[in-house]
């Protein structure tokens, strides 16, 4: 029996290795190169066993079109710009080379080069202004360029033959000897194969990743150390080259160059072919080009219906298919993979892959995933040492318009330490971060990295000084694996150019190996190595954050800035993040962390600085800062004055002729009921089950730190955000299924934070707009508006003024007036006191109290607890998307209860 077992196992092992090889074939690893090589050989050798002139010609033309379409793949698929300039460059190539041929220069290789270079020159000429305009204007200008082709041909009709076309194309020569049709075919096929090899090498190299980043976010491109405008110019130039080459071949194959060939139909057809094949697929181009050439030839009806087909493709592609036919093929392939190897961790394989040649793409079926699935218990791993740089912020001020976001802020972050930066909304944390990274320039003061002042430098230059940062929303380009995303962090430090990438020089291979090695190490450190080969944009938010942090680290930065990296992470992921942060500091880097999550930032930082309304109000160790009264008050407001304020407001309310104080909660019926509300943005869960019941005619205050879900709650009630779970009921009727405008008509009126009125309309028009959902006559509407405006004496004399010209306080009142004009049943207010002077806030809140006493229900979200407590009947405190505590306003007169609820203790 012992003999049988090993051989049985060996047979099983053999079988599984075949399955593995088949898998890697389908998954698109280097093994799959055999298929295109076989196809290429077939194409080159075709004339040896088939000599029909028709098909030789057709295949030549398909090769020509494939060259043109591949250029569009670059500019549309990777740079994201729709432009038909490709046809223009095709025409330039064709005309220029054929004119030269007629005048004696007939060598096909020379002419192809000339055509290519001429097209590149035109491409760069177009690219320079195109960069400034982008979008629609670029597309339209390129369309225009195409329709001027016949006109330009007429203008230069002596050389071009005008509208009749350029005839008399001579026989092509190759190094002196003439080429027949077969010879020309071979040249076309070989050139196409060469171009596609280069193209494939380029887009599976780092540049594939960089182009995808470019399409997704110019900001991210800069932070990786690349200039978006230079990259875009390169893309246009690269895309133009094959068009010029194709022009030469086209001229020789068709023997006539007519302006009508290069029309809008061809232009749109090329884009449609690119879209059909899949703008990111190397091989889909051939499918698209074949259809474009053969379709009209094979059937007259295709030619007639072609425009409808092209138009339909564009619509369908932009709405549904992101990757065209090739993507469908890949989706089918991954399904086949799953059937073949159910245990394997099948990554959604991406065409870019950026696979390293020579290293087999192994799907480790036996162990069910890559080693490193034990990432949940991170050891105290170490990063290679870096030379940290000191960040000195000296007296930095920054204003936007008249608003001072930062006022004379000075702080230092030392190498080898973690420095924390906290502050409530509007404190200026992110502005400071942007100033340090170069995305905003300081109005006063300076920032130094070691001894270099960075005020004149651009973000890409600062990145190259060794400053790395993460963004609040991790931007992952689509179609790039997590490993490649992490590796992209080291691109600018270890720069490899186009030529080295295309030719796969040793320098390139060394860099690729280093990329893979370092990326894998960092993923292991973060505990997410099992996701290494998956499409990064499909990962959960927490994992994406960790991938982003890993990417920042891959550049071995001397300074690391983390912008709210812990937000949205679950407990396990927070631990992974803390490990990374600690490892960074241990390695010697200067780490600056901006956070809302108190526990996290106090656990990792050595020093914490607190900002409030643009000023630095406290600095010290986590212990010192958490006990600092000023810090607590910046979050809570002066809660100590609560009792006094309540009496003052009640007095003011009585003075204005209001009713007899707040309605006892027990007597009033529930106006709004929430049960188990869960919602969020994308895959970020913000609310984790919130329930409350709000009686009619009361003021409910919703308090909590920033980032806990207060705004999300109001948006969900108002219908701007769909609730994932739970119900919203107004007066007994569920409104969960209604869209926002219906809920407004039903009586839920939301005033968003930020004074969102219509600035170009007058005050009167704004209030009139508020009455939109009421079906009343015009005189009644006007009377209602006047009534509402009477509540706000500051607005009454300004009805004809443009809303944009009002002061902040007046704009806020206008926003509330607008909401009141719809005669709501419940008014939702999101931080109405933000940015207003205290006396104005008092006046405003007194008005709200009066309205509540008259029967209006108000849901008031505030960060500054003191003013809200003064007028509220009932209080609910949120933390991390859940209700932490609630009770009557009186029960919160003890300040410590509130501080505990805010998580400050």
> Binding residues for other proteins, per CB under 8 A?
80, 82, 129, 132-137, 139-141, 143-145, 147-148, 150-152, 154-155, 264, 268, 304-308, 310-315, 317-320, 718, 720, 739-741, 744-745, 749-750, 752, 756-761, 765, 768-770, 772-773, 818-819, 822
Strand locations in 707-770 (E): 725-730, 733-734, 748-751
Nearer to other proteins, 102 or 140 (CB): 140
Neighbours of 692 (CB within 10 A): 18
The candidate with the shortest Cα–Cα distance to 803, out of 848, 849, 764, 772, is 764
Nearer to other proteins, 317 or 396 (CB): 317
Nearer to other proteins, 407 or 810 (CB): 810
The answer to whether 523 and 530 have CB atoms below 8 angstroms apart is no
Nearest distance from residue 279's CB to other proteins, in Å?
Answer: 11
Residue 647: how many CA atoms within 13 Å on its side-chain side? 4
Q: In what order do the strands lie in the sheet with 418-423?
A: 467-469, 559-563, 590-594, 418-423, 607-612, 615-620
Cα distance between residue 892 and residue 430, in whole Å: 32
Cα angle 700-706-711, degrees, rounded to a multiple of 5: 55
Nearest distance from residue 675's CB to other proteins, in Å?
Answer: 23
Cα angle 434-440-444, degrees, rounded to a multiple of 5: 105
Nearest distance from residue 477's CB to other proteins, in Å?
Answer: 13
Q: In which region does residue 621 sit, left (phi positive, over 0), alpha (psi from -120 to 50) or beta (all else)?
A: beta
Neighbours of 738 (CB within 10 A): 17
Cα distance between residue 228 and residue 190, in whole Å: 33
Could you tell me which residues come within 8 angstroms of residue 456 by beta carbon, excluding any fewer than 6 positions away?
Answer: none
Nearest distance from residue 682's CB to other proteins, in Å?
Answer: 9
Nearer to other proteins, 95 or 241 (CB): 95
For the record, the structure tokens of 33 come out as 């190169």
For the record, the structure tokens of 210 come out as 């960089």
Per residue, what are the HEC states of 442-511?
A: CCEEEEEECCEECCCCCHHHHHHCCEEECCCCCCCCCCCEHHHHHHHHHCCCCCCCHHHHHHCCHHHHHH
Nearest distance from residue 82's CB to other proteins, in Å?
Answer: 6
- The residue assigned the tokens 């009805």 is 799
Per residue, what are the HEC states of 410-447?
A: EEEECCCCEEEEEECCCCCHHHHHHHHHCCCCCCEEEE
Nearest distance from residue 804's CB to other proteins, in Å?
Answer: 10
Nearer to other proteins, 755 or 867 (CB): 755
Please give the C-alpha separations between residue 85 and each of 72, 118, 146, 254, 537, in angstroms, as whole numbers. Answer: 9, 14, 7, 22, 31
Nearer to other proteins, 597 or 715 (CB): 715
Nearest distance from residue 535's CB to other proteins, in Å?
Answer: 14
Nearest distance from residue 164's CB to other proteins, in Å?
Answer: 14
Nearest distance from residue 859's CB to other proteins, in Å?
Answer: 14
Cα distance between residue 852 and residue 659, in whole Å: 9
Nearest distance from residue 516's CB to other proteins, in Å?
Answer: 30
Nearer to other proteins, 543 or 749 (CB): 749
Nearer to other proteins, 269 or 809 (CB): 269
Nearest distance from residue 772's CB to other proteins, in Å?
Answer: 5
Could you tell me which residues come within 8 angstroms of residue 438 by beta carbon, excluding any fewer than 6 positions away?
Answer: 454, 457, 458, 459, 461, 462
Nearer to other proteins, 663 or 834 (CB): 834
The answer to whether 326 and 351 have CB atoms below 8 angstroms apart is yes
Could you tell me which residues come within 8 angstroms of residue 754 by beta carbon, excluding any fewer than 6 positions away?
Answer: 834
Cα distance between residue 327 and residue 287, in whole Å: 13
Nearer to other proteins, 392 or 475 (CB): 475
Nearer to other proteins, 58 or 830 (CB): 830
The candidate with the shortest Cα–Cα distance to 463, out of 492, 484, 440, is 492
Nearest distance from residue 72's CB to other proteins, in Å?
Answer: 12
362 three-class SS: coil
- The residue assigned the tokens 């690893």 is 29
Nearest distance from residue 262's CB to other proteins, in Å?
Answer: 14
Nearer to other proteins, 154 or 453 (CB): 154
Nearest distance from residue 539's CB to other proteins, in Å?
Answer: 16
Cα distance between residue 30 and residue 7, in whole Å: 30
Nearest distance from residue 315's CB to other proteins, in Å?
Answer: 4
Determine which helix (DSSP H) or strand (DSSP E) holds 562, and give its type and residue range: strand 559-563
Nearest distance from residue 247's CB to other proteins, in Å?
Answer: 21
Nearer to other proteins, 278 or 695 (CB): 278
Nearest distance from residue 750's CB to other proteins, in Å?
Answer: 5
Cα distance between residue 414 and residue 367, in whole Å: 44
Nearer to other proteins, 220 or 386 (CB): 220
Nearest distance from residue 741's CB to other proteins, in Å?
Answer: 5
Nearer to other proteins, 80 or 372 (CB): 80
DSSP 667-707: TSPEEEEEEEEEEEETTEEEEEEEEEEEETT-EEEEE--TT
Nearer to other proteins, 642 or 822 (CB): 822
Determine which helix (DSSP H) or strand (DSSP E) holds 723, and give its type and residue range: none
The candidate with the shortest Cα–Cα distance to 539, out of 612, 598, 482, is 482
Nearer to other proteins, 69 or 601 (CB): 69
The candidate with the shortest Cα–Cα distance to 785, out of 816, 815, 821, is 821
Nearer to other proteins, 129 or 661 (CB): 129
886 three-class SS: strand
């Amino acid at each position: 029996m012992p003999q049988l077992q090993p051989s049985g196992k060996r047979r099983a092992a053999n079988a599984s290795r075949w399955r593995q090889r088949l898998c890697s074939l389908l998954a698109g690893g280097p093994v799959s190169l055999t298929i295109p090589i076989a196809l290429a050989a077939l194409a080159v050798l075709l004339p040896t066993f088939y000599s029909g002139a028709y098909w030789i010609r057709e295949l030549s033309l398909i090769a020509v079109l494939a060259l043109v379409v591949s250029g569009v793949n670059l500019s549309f698929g990777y740079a994201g710009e729709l432009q038909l300039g490709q046809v223009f460059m095709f025409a330039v190539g064709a005309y220029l080379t054929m004119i030269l041929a007629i005048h004696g220069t007939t060598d096909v290789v020379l002419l192809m080069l000339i055509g290519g270079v001429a097209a590149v020159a035109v491409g760069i000429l177009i690219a320079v202004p195109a960069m400034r305009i982008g979008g629609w204007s670029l597309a339209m200008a390129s369309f225009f360029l195409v329709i001027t082709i016949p006109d330009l041909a007429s203008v230069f009709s002596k050389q071009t033959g005008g509208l009749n076309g350029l005839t008399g194309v001579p026989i092509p020569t190759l190094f002196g000897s003439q080429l027949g049709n077969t010879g020309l075919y071979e040249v076309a096929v070989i050139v196409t194969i060469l171009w596609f090899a280069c193209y494939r090498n380029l887009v599976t190299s780092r540049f594939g990743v960089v182009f995808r980043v470019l399409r997704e976010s110019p900001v991210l491109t800069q932070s990786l150390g690349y200039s978006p405008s230079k990259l875009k110019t390169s893309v246009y130039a690269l895309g133009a080259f094959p068009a010029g080459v194709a022009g030469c071949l086209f001229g020789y194959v068709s023997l006539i160059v007519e302006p009508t060939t290069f029309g809008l139909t061809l232009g749109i057809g090329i884009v449609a072919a690119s879209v059909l094949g899949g703008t990111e697929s190397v091989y889909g181009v051939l499918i698209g080009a074949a259809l474009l050439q053969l379709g009209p030839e094979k059937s007259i009806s295709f030619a007639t219906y072609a425009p409808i087909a092209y138009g339909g493709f564009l619509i369908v592609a932009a709405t549904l298919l992101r990757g065209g036919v090739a993507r469908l093929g890949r989706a089918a392939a991954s399904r086949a993979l799953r059937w073949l190897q159910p245990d394997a961790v099948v990554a959604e394989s991406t065409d870019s892959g950026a696979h390293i040649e020579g290293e087999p793409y192994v799907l480790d079926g036996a162990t069910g995933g890559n080693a490193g699935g034990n990432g949940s218990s991170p050891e105290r791993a170490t990063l290679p040492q870096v030379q940290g740089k000191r960040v000195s912020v000296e007296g930095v001020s920054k204003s936007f318009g008249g608003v001072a976001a930062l006022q004379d802020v000075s702080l230092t972050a030392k190498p080898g330490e973690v420095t924390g930066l906290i502050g409530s909304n509007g404190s200026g944390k992110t502005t400071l971060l942007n100033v340090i990274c170069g995305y905003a320039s300081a109005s006063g003061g300076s920032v130094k990295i070691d001894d270099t002042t960075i005020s004149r430098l651009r973000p890409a230059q600062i990145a190259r000084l060794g400053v790395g940062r993460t963004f609040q929303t991790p931007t992952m380009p689509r179609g790039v694996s997590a490993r490649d995303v992490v590796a992209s962090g080291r691109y600018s430090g270890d720069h490899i150019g186009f030529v080295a990438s295309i030719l796969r020089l040793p320098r390139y291979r060394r860099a690729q190996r280093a990329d893979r090695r370092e990326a894998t190490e960092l993923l292991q450190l973060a505990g997410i190595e099992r996701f290494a080969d998956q499409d990064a944009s499909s990962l959960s938010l927490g994992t994406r954050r960790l991938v982003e942090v890993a990417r920042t680290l891959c550049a071995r930065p001397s300074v690391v800035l983390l912008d709210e990296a812990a937000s949205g992470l679950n407990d396990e992921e927070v631990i992974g993040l803390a490990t990374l942060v600690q490892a960074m500091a241990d390695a010697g880097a200067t780490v600056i962390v901006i956070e809302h999550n108190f526990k996290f930032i106090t656990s990792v930082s050595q020093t914490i600085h607190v900002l409030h309304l643009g000023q630095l109000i406290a600095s010290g160790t986590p212990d010192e800062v958490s006990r600092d009264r000023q810090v607590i008050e910046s979050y809570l407001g002066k809660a100590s004055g609560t009792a006094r304020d309540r009496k003052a407001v009640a007095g003011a309310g009585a003075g204005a002729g209001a009713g007899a104080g707040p309605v006892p909660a027990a007597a009033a019926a529930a106006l709004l009921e929430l049960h188990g509300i869960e919602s969020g943005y994308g895959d970020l869960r913000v609310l984790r089950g919130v329930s409350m019941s709000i009686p009619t005619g009361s003021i409910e205050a919703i308090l909590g730190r920033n980032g806990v879900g207060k705004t999300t709650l109001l948006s969900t009630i108002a219908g701007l955000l769909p609730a994932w779970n739970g119900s919203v009921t107004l007066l007994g009727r569920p409104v969960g299924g209604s869209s926002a405008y219906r809920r407004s008509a039903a009586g839920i009126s939301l005033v968003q934070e930020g004074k969102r009125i219509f600035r170009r309309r007058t005050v009167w028009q704004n209030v009139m707009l508020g009455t939109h959902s009421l079906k009343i006559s015009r005189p009644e509407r006007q009377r209602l508006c006047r009534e509402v405006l009477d509540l706000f004496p500051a607005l009454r004399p300004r009805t004809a003024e443009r809303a944009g010209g009002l002061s902040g306080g007046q704009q806020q009142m206008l926003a509330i007036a607008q909401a009141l004009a719809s005669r709501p049943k419940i008014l939702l207010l999101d931080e109405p006191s933000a940015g207003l002077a205290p006396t104005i806030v008092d006046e405003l809140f007194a008005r709200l109290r009066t309205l509540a006493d008259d029967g209006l229900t108000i849901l008031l979200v505030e960060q500054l607890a003191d003013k809200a407590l003064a007028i509220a009947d009932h209080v609910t405190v949120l933390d991390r998307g859940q209700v932490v505590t609630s009770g009557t306003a009186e029960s919160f007169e003890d300040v410590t209860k509130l501080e505990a609820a805010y998580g400050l203790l």
